[in-house]
């Protein structure tokens, strides 16, 4: 019998250049001492984290992270080429997240966007895995009924300098930060611009 795989969900994993990693961390730390930080970052009870998501969607511009923006643009171009060889016009929305010890984020998706991603400004593997869930809910039900050997989720450990890209429709969550340190990440959505 021949068994074929169809409709794969492709996850992009990119290690950002070390110089950009260091410059980004330094810029974020400096920004945290400003009034802009106090204005943009707030605690979100519903999401159980400190975030600028509800107040500001161009954190790359606000903190002046042009080198990180270029890394994101290059990674998005490489990742999206797998789906289509056509160049797309797009806009990047970005926000910063702070996961204190004990924080987590429930399952959600960024439906309505093209590509989503996360970049770890400061993270270690014990600060909460990033977990993706099977996009076909019916398949998840089928797997639970018939096989405990088939996984219905995949996890990625956070690490400073790592960037993860994924289709925006893909459900994901952030598992609880079990460490004693804060994990800082910059999340982003890629919106395809209509002509």
CA nearest to 28, candidates 56, 78, 68, 57: 68
Contact 170, 93 (CB under 8 A): no
In a domain, 33, yes or no: yes
In a domain, 182, yes or no: yes
In a domain, 6, yes or no: no
In a domain, 7, yes or no: no
In a domain, 1, yes or no: no
Where in the sequence is the domain holding 45, given as residue range(s)? Answer: 12-192
In a domain, 3, yes or no: no
pLDDT value of position 195: 45
User: Given the structure tokens 């984290």, which residue do they identify?
Assistant: 49
Q: What angle do helix axes 66-83 and 18-31 make, rounded to 10 degrees?
A: 130
CATH number at residue 22: 2.60.120.620
pLDDT value of position 82: 81
In a domain, 180, yes or no: yes
pLDDT value of position 180: 96
User: Given the structure tokens 């969900």, which residue do they identify?
Assistant: 9
User: Which residue ranges of the chain lie beneath pLDDT 70?
Assistant: 5, 84-87, 137-151, 193-195
Question: Structurally, how many domains does the chain consist of?
Answer: 1
Strand order in the sheet with 153-156: 105-108, 172-174, 130-133, 153-156
- Residue 150 CB-half CA count within 13 A: 11
d(CA 124, CA 158) in angstroms, rounded, equals 6
Burial class (CB in 10 A: 0-12, 13-18, 19+), 38: exposed
For 134-139, which contacts have Cβ atoms below 8 Å and span 24 or more sequence positions?
Answer: 135/9, 135/169, 135/170, 135/171
In a domain, 4, yes or no: no
Distance of CA 141 to the CA centre of its chain: 26
pLDDT value of position 80: 87
How many other CB atoms sit within 10 Å of the CB of residue 31?
18
- Residue 45 CB-half CA count within 13 A: 0
């Amino acid at each position: 019998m021949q068994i074929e795989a169809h409709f794969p969900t492709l996850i992009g994993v990119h290690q950002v250049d070390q110089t950009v990693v260091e410059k980004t961390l330094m810029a974020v730390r400096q920004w945290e001492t400003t009034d802009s930080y106090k204005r943009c970052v707030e605690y979100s009870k519903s999401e159980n984290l400190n975030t600028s998501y509800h107040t500001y969607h161009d954190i790359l511009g606000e903190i002046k992270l042009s080198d990180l923006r270029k890394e994101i643009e290059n990674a998005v171009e490489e990742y999206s080429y797998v789906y289509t060889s056509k160049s797309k016009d797009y806009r990047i929305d970005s926000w910063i997240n702070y996961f204190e010890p004990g924080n987590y984020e429930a399952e959600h998706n960024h439906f309505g966007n093209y590509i989503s991603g996360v970049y770890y400004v400061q993270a270690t593997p014990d600060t909460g895995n990033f977990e993706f869930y099977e996009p076909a809910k019916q398949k998840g039900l089928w797997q639970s009924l018939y096989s405990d050997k088939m996984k219905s989720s995949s996890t990625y450990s956070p690490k400073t300098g790592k960037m993860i890209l994924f289709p925006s429709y893909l459900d994901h969550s952030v598992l609880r930060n079990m460490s004693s340190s804060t994990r800082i990440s910059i999340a982003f959505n890629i919106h395809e611009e209509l002509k």
